[in-house]
């Protein structure tokens, strides 16, 4: 435990599994007073079994304003006038597939969590951050930097989050609130598997035309060899963003994340040609 972390309060959304859980446990071990946002009590109990008594599970659904307000009030009462050292907007969902047939309800739900959820939670907790000149950390993705085909829904939500975060960084500067984006590559978390399951269910509702046009690419994601990093690597970066004297504006995490930035510097026509070569021909195209 280090003195600059001891007892300082941090709120983390999406802490039931994956990156959020890793962040909660790492910051708890470092001595911070962690408020871990979970969707249900059983997730909170599971987290507590691996943490200190200082970690407090907080029930929150980032798409439901009443749960956001309740979580904010719980944290505010617990920390009194001390303020919040950090808010980590980690809750997120994944959805992909051909945009031509993407169900609008799925797209709206994706943005409700990945974008509007961040707005709602941040608006609610900003007064607590302002008290302590705390840090705002938003969990983006390499998909927020570059949109590959068939990842359009997810990438769009993360592109929006990048713009939101850049604006907030400047707007909150007068109060000394520093704002960071974390942009991981592929991380070994349940979000990808959950997204694939959602896509599989959506495919069952696609018309025959969709299967004729895009059939060969539907199973591409399941067939890819994945080189995922552990969520603990992302948690280490989040700790730096909250407690370092000079946090970075952006944190790229993982070898594929850094590769994407290099790839993004290639002329657009060449880049698109290289990407197209990785996909099978489909439909009548």
Q: Hey, which residues are catalytic here? A: 154
CA torsion sign, 227 to 233 to 235 to 238? negative
The tokens for 215 are 């059939």
State how beta strands 33-38 and 86-89 pair: unpaired
Tokens 């929006």 label which residue? Answer: 160
Summary count for the chain: helices (H), strands (E)? 12, 7
Quick one: which H or E segment has residue 264? none
CA pair distance 144, 249, nearest whole angstrom: 14
Quick one: which H or E segment has residue 9? strand 9-12
Give the three-class secondary structure for 43. helix
Question: Could you write out the DSSP letters of every residue in 229-241?
Answer: BPHHHHHHHHHHH
CA pair distance 7, 279, nearest whole angstrom: 50
Tokens 């992302």 label which residue? Answer: 234
CB 121 within 8 A of CB 89: yes
CA pair distance 263, 238, nearest whole angstrom: 25
Q: How many CB atoms lie within 10 A of CB 87?
A: 29
CB 161 within 8 A of CB 205: no
CA pair distance 11, 129, nearest whole angstrom: 10
Tokens 């969990």 label which residue? Answer: 139
């Amino acid at each position: 435990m280090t003195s600059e972390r001891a007892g300082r309060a941090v709120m983390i959304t999406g802490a039931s599994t994956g990156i959020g859980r890793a962040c909660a446990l790492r910051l708890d071990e470092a001595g911070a007073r962690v408020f871990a946002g979970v969707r249900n009590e059983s997730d909170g109990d599971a987290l507590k079994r691996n943490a200190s008594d200082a970690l407090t599970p907080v029930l929150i659904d980032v798409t439901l304003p009443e749960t956001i307000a309740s979580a904010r009030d719980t944290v505010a009462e617990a920390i009194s006038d001390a303020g919040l050292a950090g808010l980590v907007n980690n809750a997120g969902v994944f959805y992909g597939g051909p945009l031509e047939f993407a169900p609008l309800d799925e797209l709206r739900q994706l943005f409700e969590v990945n974008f509007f959820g961040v707005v709602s939670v941040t608006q609610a907790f900003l007064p607590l951050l302002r008290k302590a000149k705390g840090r705002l950390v938003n969990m983006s993705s390499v998909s927020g930097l570059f949109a590959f085909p068939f990842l359009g829904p997810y990438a769009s939500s993360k592109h929006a989050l990048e713009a939101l975060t850049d604006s907030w960084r400047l707007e909150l500067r007068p109060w000394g609130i520093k704002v960071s984006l974390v942009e991981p590559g592929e991380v070994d978390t349940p979000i990808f598997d959950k997204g694939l399951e959602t896509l599989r269910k959506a495919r069952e509702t696609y018309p025959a035309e969709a299967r004729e046009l895009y059939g060969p690419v539907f199973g591409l994601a399941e067939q890819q060899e994945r080189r995922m990093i552990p969520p603990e690597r992302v948690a280490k970066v989040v700790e730096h963003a909250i407690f370092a004297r000079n946090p970075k504006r952006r944190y790229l995490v993982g070898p594929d994340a850094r590769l994407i930035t290099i790839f993004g510097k290639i002329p657009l026509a060449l880049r698109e040609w290289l990407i197209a070569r990785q996909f099978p021909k489909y439909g009548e195209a």
